[in-house]
Amino acid sequence: MEACKGLLLLMVVLVLMVMQGRESEGQLAENFYSSTCPNVEFIVKQAVSTKLSQTPITIPSTLRLFFHDCFVEGCDASVMIASANGDAEKDFTDNLSLAGDGFDTVIKAKQAVEALCPGVVSCADILALAARDCVVLAGGPAFSVELGRRDGLVSQASQVAGNLPEPNFNLDQLNTMFAKHNLSQTDVVALSGAHTVGFSHCGRFSDRLSNFSSNSPVDPSLDPGYAKQLMGACPINADPVINLDPETPDTFDNAYYRNLVAGKGLLSSDQVLFSDFASQPTVIDFANNPGNFNGAFITAMRKLGRVGVKTGDQGEIRTDCTTFNS
């Protein structure tokens, strides 16, 4: 009898553990605002569309903002915080190049949402939705976004160092950093595909164009014609911006991967995805099969959106995305 009671107790404990695990996994849900702000996705998409009609920079700047947010403190809109002391995440050196249009997109969307659903939808969720909308508006795949994130209570420049990939990272370095967030090598390659839109300053890749090594002044993985083109576009003592995708810079497609195969990856961390034999097959697959890229990108974006999220009674729902409520 005692043995049966013990077995029953063990079964109850196991069931509770499983239920708790499922509850933890299910804290984000696509229909999270179905009763509290049912039109939130429409409102955000309208705001993003309006911003896009004003400047095409909206798309790459918002996507990059989402990535930079999630990789530091998790997807909690901590990158949105403005500090009078200049010590918030956005003030760190690697974040100073984040275009203001990405911030403005989220701020405008938040204002529109607050007008109809005050104090309900987090800035973190609005950023996640806006990033998805940018992909779709640029011609990329549509996908559902899990919602229910809360906004973080910490935003410190000191937390950014070492948590964002550098333009000269090799595959091992990329894999190591992404693995910290439960992202695989396939996710690395897929998320890098966001570089099918946007641009980079010459200073981020100029070392590939001169004095690359003692054996080769120019990075040998660069297509010679493309290298010459870049040299002409990046004069000495100037730091203009260059499209990451020289073929279809304003369209979200798989041209990025075809560029890598052709030796036209702008950043070293782009081109290494093809140069390294471990990731080369995935690059070739995405270059030849846009459907495979789209599917992998959707999977990776949904995984990225779960990184370090605050839910339940964690964090807060900011009224103004740029400041903590208190």
Binding site, annotated residues for Ca(2+): 69, 72, 74, 76, 78, 89, 196, 245, 248, 253
Show contacts of 269-273: CB within 8 Å, 24+ apart.
269/165, 269/166, 269/167, 269/168, 269/169, 269/170, 269/174, 269/192, 270/192, 270/195, 270/244, 271/219, 271/221, 271/222, 272/169, 272/170, 272/171, 272/174, 272/221, 273/171, 273/188, 273/189, 273/192
**How far apart are the C-alpha atoms of 150 and 25, rounded to whole Å?**
15
Q: What does the block give as tokens for 293?
A: 């890229």
CB 66 within 8 A of CB 132: no
Asked if 68 is an active-site residue, the reply is yes
Total number of residues shown for the chain: 326
**Residue of 45, 64, 68, 303 with catalytic role:** 68
Binding positions for substrate are 165
**How far apart are the C-alpha atoms of 307 and 78, rounded to whole Å?**
13
What is the CB-side half-sphere exposure of residue 255 using CA atoms within 13 A?
17
CB 27 within 8 A of CB 124: no
Q: What does the block give as tokens for 181?
A: 């967030």
Binding positions for heme b are 195
CB 126 within 8 A of CB 193: no
Binding positions are 69, 72, 74, 76, 78, 89, 165, 195-196, 245, 248, 253
Best CA proximity match to 170, nearest among 278, 303, 286: 278
193 Cβ contact list (under 8 Å, min separation 6): 254, 256, 257, 286, 293, 297
**How far apart are the C-alpha atoms of 79 and 68, rounded to whole Å?**
7
Catalytic (active-site) positions? 68
